Amino acid sequence: MNEDKTNLIGAGDRCLGPKQARTTQCAAKASNGSWLGGVAFERNSRANPVKPHTRCYSIGNSFEGPTKIMAPCAGNKMTGARDLEAIEM
DSSP codes, 12-46: HHHHH--GGG--SSPPEE-TTS-EESS-GGGGSTT
pLDDT, residue 79, reads 59
pLDDT, residue 52, reads 84
pLDDT, residue 20, reads 93
pLDDT of 86 > 70? The answer is no
Q: What is the chain's mean pLDDT, rounded?
A: 82
Domain boundaries, the chain: 3-88
pTM value? 0.64
